[in-house]
Every structure is written in structure tokens, then in C-alpha cells.
Structure 1
Amino acid sequence: MTTDRGDGHRAPAGVAALADATPAGRDRLVDGVRAAAIVVVILWHWVGSLTHRGADGVIVMPNPVDAVPLGWAATWALQVMPLFFVVGGFANLAGWDAAGHRAGVFLRRRARRLLAPVGVWVVLWAGVEVVATLAGAASPLVAWFPGVLTPLWFLGVYALVTALVPVTAGRHRRAPAATLGALLLVVVLAETLRRAGALPVAGVMSSALVWLLVHQLGYLWRDHGRVPGGVALAVAGVGLGSLVVATGVLGYPRSMVGANLWPTTPAVVALAVLQLGLVALLAPAADRLLRRRRPWRCVVAVNATAMTLFVWHMTGFAAVFLVVEHLGAAPGGVPDAGWVLARPFWLLAPAVVLAGLVAVFRRAELR
């Protein structure tokens, strides 16, 4: 990346230069939420799992939420995928406007940012698999550590909702409330069919529609911007009330990881509304924080390589797991005191490996 120095030449743009060049009118809160969401997802995968090799020799990554008292409550704050899609809706509507509502321009820009880091990841892993096959590996290496593929489901769904922006943004501009209401109605119908077992593909339909609806909430955020504290509190209250009804009356799991994600249930929509309201409540304090140079540089650093961080973070974790297992210190599958004491290691060691991977592969995204 480069930045104009003011003398007609282009100089390399580091994080500091990018941060200092931020336009005064940019809504830093959106960038801050996106960066925080990426970091929370990565740390959750590293620190919040019971990754171990089962009795059958297969590596599994169960979540300890059910084994921890009130662990499900933590997922209402830390399951940030809904919030990431809301932020994506905000950013995609801004990008749609910046592209002059030209579908080709918008899609080329979004595809370049999203697919370049993924393309590098796919090519490198494909090369590893070819080498492993030629060396006589009994099964694909990526199957050895299923967590390596974790980012792909999210990227696939996010790419889908992004590809539909020319349609959904156009409908939103013409009739925002009606479009949101129609999506909600279709989600309810698809979910009713899924739960009744009346349509085999209803689970796929309801999952896609839920994420599309959550993404659409970001359009509303983009349109209305900052709202008074009372409105923000009301939005959070609606989200919380809906989540309580969904998990207490309608029978959806209280934990927002696992069963609520596939197939994706309407409880995720309620969680997105709750989180959007909480972000709006915290907006004034967050804005003051992000006006400071150091926090803002951290946000810029994460967002500049967000997709690179995301696609490679489980590869870094897998590498550490392989080394630890080779040294005879493989972790167990029980959230006991030893598991708790080991959490700092499983935060720092993968972070070191990921930093090296990002240093090598970030150029694809920075271009």
C-alpha cells in the first residue's frame, strides 16, 4: 500500500500512516467493532476450545460452554459472528454507494479484498496436500485438523450475502422497513418448515436467510448512524427479550455456539439485535477511545489484514498443536484446572505463529 506524501510521490503506507490519514468524517466505531469481532473469534477458537485427540485418533474441538456454569451466557456477548455480519452490511452499503450503485464495480472491489487472501490460503494448502499425497499420506492433512477449515463456512456465507448486495441494497433504498419485514417473514416460514421436517433443504434456506437478514440490519445502522441512548436501550431490550423468548419459550438452545449456528436459527437474529443495541449504547465512550492515536492504530492494523488473520489463524493453532503433541504434552478433553492454567500458552504460542504467517502473506490483502 502507498500513501501520498504531498510532494507528488508515493511512499509506503504503514499502519501509522494509514491511521494518520483517516478522514475526519469516518465512523471509527464501525472499524473498531469489526476489528474487535475478528480478535474475539480468533481468541475464542484458540482459548475457548477443548481441542484434543479422541480415543479413535481423530482430533476434535468440542466447546466447554456446556460444562461451565452459566457458560451459555458468555456466548451472548462473545458470539460475535452476528455482529460481524451487521458491520458487513454497514460497510457493504457504504461500498455500494461509493461504487455509484454499479454492480460490476462494487463486486470487483469486494471480491478483490475478500478473495485474494483466501486464494493464497487455498493455493498454499493445496500445495501442502499434493506434497503429503506424494509422500504417502493416508488422508488429507486438512482432515487431520478439521479446525483448519473452520473459516471457510463463514467466508462462503459472507461471500453470498455480499454478492446479493446489488439486489438487497436496491430493495433497502426503495423500501427499508418493508424489505426487512419481508425477510423476517420468509425466515419464519423457512424455519417453520425446517422444524416440521416438511422440506429437506429448509435448513439450508433458513440459515442463508438468517444471515441475509442480519446483514440487512447493517443497512439500517448505516442509514441512521448514531441514535439517542433511549433508542439504543430500546433496541438492546428488544433483542434481549427476543432472545429470552427464543431460548426459553421456543426451545432454541441457550448457547449461541454449536446448535444455533448450523442450521442457523432465528435466535441469531435476536442476538444480532441485542448486540447492535449494546454497540449503540457504548458508541460515545468507544468513539472517545478510538480518537486516541494508539487504540486507533491497533484497529487499523487489524482491519488492514483482517481476512489474512482470519483464514490463517487456525493454521497457526494447528501448527502449535502438532508440536505440543510431538513433545508428548497433548492436551486432554476435560475443562479441569490444568486446562485453565494452559490457556495463556494457547493464547501466546499460536499468536506468535500467526504473526509470522501474516508477515509472509499479508501482501495479497494489502494490495
Structure 2
Amino acid sequence: MGVPQQRQPQQASGVPDLPAPERDLVIDLARFFCLALVVVGHTMMVSPVLHPDGTVTTENTLALQDWFEPIIWIFMVMPLFFVAGGITGLQSWRRLRAHGGTGLEFAQARLLRLIRPAAALLAVMFAGLWAARMFGVEPQVVELIVTGAGMPLWFLAAYLAAQLNIPLLAALHDRAPWLALAGLTTLVVAVDCFRGALPLLAYANIVFLWCAVQQLGFILADAPERRPSASTLVGIIVATNLLLGLVTGLGLYRGNMLVNLNPPTFCLLLLGGAQAAALQLSRPVLTGVAAAKWVRAVVGLAGRRAMTVYLWHLPLLAAMSGLLLLTGFPKPAAGTAGWWWSRPLVLVGIIVLLTPVLAAFGRLEERPTASAHSRRRPAAAVVTAAVVVFIPVADAAFNGLTLGLLGGGAACFALAVLLLGRIPVRGRSRPARPEGGTGGVTGRPEGTANGAPGGAGGPLPPTPLSANVEP
């Protein structure tokens, strides 16, 4: 299913130009679907309750519904997101490596792309909630809003852990793809077997499990376009779901996939296999849907701001829910008919709140590219930045997120951004300009994105061309 690539002519200097990948509309659409489903799902989960004694608790209303447990087997889309990330991540790494890039440069680009928007979120939340505490907002309401950053942070940690391992896992995949997947699967199952005796060991699957699911994306990226057959894909879907039913039916795992999400279990790898096969099976139909102009416009816009939407929507939802507790606005009891009918209004409210956030912070997702003469960051700076990022995230995972940790996390993320600097230009030599021209048909020098200096000197085409191709 590899993304087709355009062949580029050899530059006069003898250095081949970077391949400009065509936009894989199906992957764009799949990631948009995952993001939209997560946002909609969270509006049906977060339900703060103000008790008569003044205490505030939260309920996951959707998870308490008896009918929801089998439904989540279908709509637990986190594995599909990592499959898509594996496809785009492998292609990005290969493009960078083909032009002399290193694993450290790949890690630098990935870290910057993900932690810049996260640093802004943590800083704004800390400043806003600290001010709220100073002005007398109930501490429990503040803590409720703080917890809204917890889920985006765990996802960020899991996605970063998987993406930063791409150079190593890609090397294993190139040598023996199925053996690499089998090795990761063995590690996942081994951790699950010992999690009862060593509960903290279960968190190792944040790395092993999501790297294994990402490896499924590697396999899809290298799959011939017409293989495997439809019958094989259907067989994979049926077999993985039967095995999932067996391990949950025997009581080896819980049937609730939300329980299996954090820390993740082998069940999510089975779901990932089924979803990867379903994605490949439905590709002909999805290609037609994704080709519609309005679909491309919506998906492309959302894709370029996907991380900002993901990071901010849950804190905004928690903030809106918490602040409503302080007002006389009608608050139907969770799970009642009135509560369910209010969910579309909550979704509209989140979209309205996200609009100024995207305008203010969305550009942080654009990769900061240095000039052609910038120095490469030393290995110690990149490694230190990665460690600095994971310290507050690990603390939050084990001990819970607090207002103080929110401030510490913002400082750590800001420090990591400073350590990483900007992504160096690599692999492009400026071609000769035509007479009377300024550099190509667009009037911009080749190797710039949207006219920005050094904008596309790295392994990416200009940002508007593809939402699913990452730095």
C-alpha cells in the first residue's frame, strides 16, 4: 500500500532531489476519522458531578453503559492512529536517510513537531489555573481541569516513544519484517503475563505495544498495492476478532477496551491487526470518498492542526464542564435523557472554543526549519531533550497530574524546545533559475515552503500539500 512517489530529476550537483510524495488521501481520511471520533467520544465521557457537600467528582458516563462495552471494540481507534503513524513515519525516515539524514535528526524533527504545541498547552494551562486559584476558584474545580491534560499527555508519551524508535525498528523491519513484529508481540505478551506480580511493569507496554502496532503500519507501507487479497484481509479481520473474543471470554483480559488502554495490553494489538486489514480492504472505497474536493479541504485543514486539536480539546472540555458547575446553567444528571440530548451542544461548544486556540497556537505544528548554514544540534542536546520531556510525563503517569507538575512540565517542554533548536536543511541544492525568473513557476526558490527561508529544505514538501506526511 506504499504511498506513490514522484521521480525527481538528478540535480546538477549530483545530489538527487528529495522525492515529493503524493498525498495519500486514504491515510489523511483515516487519521481525520480517528481524531473526530476521539473528540466526539470524549464529549460523552467527561461528566463532572457537584455533590451536596461541595465536593466534585468525575464520571465516565459512556463507559458505565452496559451496551458500550461491545461497541468500543469497533470504535477504539487508537490502534488505527498508530498504524497510520507507522506508514507516514517509515516513509519520512526513508526520505531523510536517503539524503544522508541520521536518526538524531529524525528524532529532533519528531520531538519539535510534537512538543512545541504541547509546551504551549501546559504553559497556558498552568498560568490560567494558577490565576484561577489566586482569584478564589474552588480548588476541586481547578484540579478537575488539571486532569483534562492527563490523557493528551499519556498519548503524547506513547506516540513519541513509538516514533523515536522508528529508525531502529525500520532497520529490523527491512531485515525481517514479520520476525520484528513477532519479537515485539512476544515482549507485549510477556509484560502482560507478569503485570499481576509487578504492576509497574505493565507500563513497559506503552513502548512495546504501540511500537508493535506501529510495525503493522510498516508492513502496510511496504505491501504491494494489489496484495494481500480481499479474502486474506477478511480472514485476518475474522481471526483477530475471534482471538480477541477468546482471550477476553476466558478471562485473560477484560472485555472493556478502555480498561485495556492504559496501560495497554495485547488486546489492542489484536484490534490494530483487524483495523489495519480493514483499512487495506476498504481502500478502494475510501479512495473515492477522500477524493471529493470538500472532503480533501476539510481533512487537509484538520490534518495540519491535528495535534493542536487533540491536545487542547480535552482540557477545554474539562474547563467548560468545570466552570459550568459554578453557574446556574442547567446540568442534567449524567446518563439521563436530558444529558444525552445536551451532548451535541457540548460538541458545538468545544468547536467554538477550539477556533481561537487553533488561530493562536496552530502554527506551532509547522516544522521550524533553520537556514542552510545552521549547525546541526549535538547528540547530547537531542538526547537530553528527549529525557527532559519524558520526566514530567512519567511522573504524571505514576503519580497523577497536579497543578505543580503542570508548571514543571511546561518548563521541561520549553527547555526541550530550546535544546532542539531548529531542523537543519538537508539534501537540497538550489537548481539554476530560469532566465528572468525568481526560481520556478511559483516565483519562489526551490526548497522553500510558502516562500519562507529554508522552509522545505528538509524531508517534507510544503505543508499545504499533505496533511499526513510528517517531518
Q: Aligned to 2:222, what secondary structure does the other structure show?
A: helix
The equivalent of 2:32 in structure 1 is 35
Match of residue 55 from structure 2: 57
Q: CA deviation at 1:135?
A: 4.3
What amino acid does structure 2 have at the position aligned with 1:81?
Answer: M
Q: Does 2:318 match 1:318?
A: yes
Matches of 2:88 and 2:352, distance apart in 1: 30
Q: Identify unmatched segments of 5+ residues in structure 1.
A: 1-22
Q: Corresponding residue for 1:295?
A: 295
Q: What do residues 316-338 of structure 1 show as CA deviations (whole Å, max 9, x unaligned)?
A: 21343244323323635531211
In terms of Rg, which structure is larger? 2
Check whether the contact 1:51–1:332 (CA below 8 A) recurs between aligned residues: no
Matched, 1:149 2:147: no
Three-state SS of the structure 2 residue aligned to 1:99 is: helix
Secondary structure, aligned partner of 1:327: coil
Answering whether residue 201 of structure 2 is matched by residue 202 of structure 1, we say yes
Which residue pairs with 2:432 in the alignment?
none
Partner of 2:348: 348
Q: In the alignment, which residue of structure 2 is the partner of 1:90?
A: 87
> Following the alignment from structure 2 to structure 1, what is the Cα–Cα distance between the partners of residues 305 and 121?
13
Is 1:161 aligned to 2:169, yes or no?
A: no
Q: Distance in 2 between matches of 1:136 and 1:345?
A: 28
- Between the two proteins, the alignment pairs up a number of residues equal to 341
Deviation at 1:294, TM superposition (A): 0.8
Alignment of 1:1-367 (within 5 A): 25-54=22-51, 57-69=55-67, 71-100=68-97, 102-132=102-132, 134-135=134-135, 139=139, 143-145=143-145, 146-195=147-196, 197=197, 199-224=198-223, 226=225, 227=227, 228-257=229-258, 259-329=259-329, 331-367=331-367
% of aligned pairs identical? 26
Corresponding residue SS for 1:277: helix
Maintained 8 Å contact 2:46/2:60: yes
CA–CA distance in structure 1, aligned partners of residues 140 and 363 of structure 2: 28
Give SS of 1:251's match.
coil
SS at match of 1:204: helix
TM-score normalised over the length of structure 2: 0.68
Q: Secondary structure of 1:224's match?
A: coil
- For 1:68 and 1:339, the matched residues in 2 are separated by 17
Q: CA deviation at 1:191?
A: 1.0
SS of 1:261 mapped into structure 2: coil
What is the rounded CA distance, in whole Å, between the counterparts of 1:54 and 1:77 in structure 2? 34
In the aligned structure 2, how far is the partner of 1:144 from the partner of 1:179? 41
For 1:330 and 1:238, how far apart are their aligned partners in 2? 48
| 1:130-171 Cα shifts (integer Å, max 9, x gaps) | 434554667487523222322111111111111111211111
Deviation digits for residues 333-359 of structure 1, max 9, x if unmatched? 531211221121111111111122112
Q: For 2:51 and 2:221, how far apart are their aligned partners in 1?
A: 46
From the superposition, tell whether residues 183 and 45 of structure 1 become closer, same or farther in structure 2 (CA, over 3 Å).
Answer: same
Alpha-carbon distance in structure 1 between the residues aligned to 2:94 and 2:135: 51
Query: In proportion to residue count, which structure has more helix?
Result: 1
Instruction: State the shift of 1:252 in Å.
Output: 1.7
Cα RMSD of the aligned pairs, angstroms, is 2.3
Q: Relative to structure 2, which stretch is displaced further, 326-335 or 273-282?
A: 326-335
Do the aligned partners of residues 283 and 118 (structure 1) sit closer, same or farther apart at CA in structure 2, a change above 3 Å counting? Answer: same
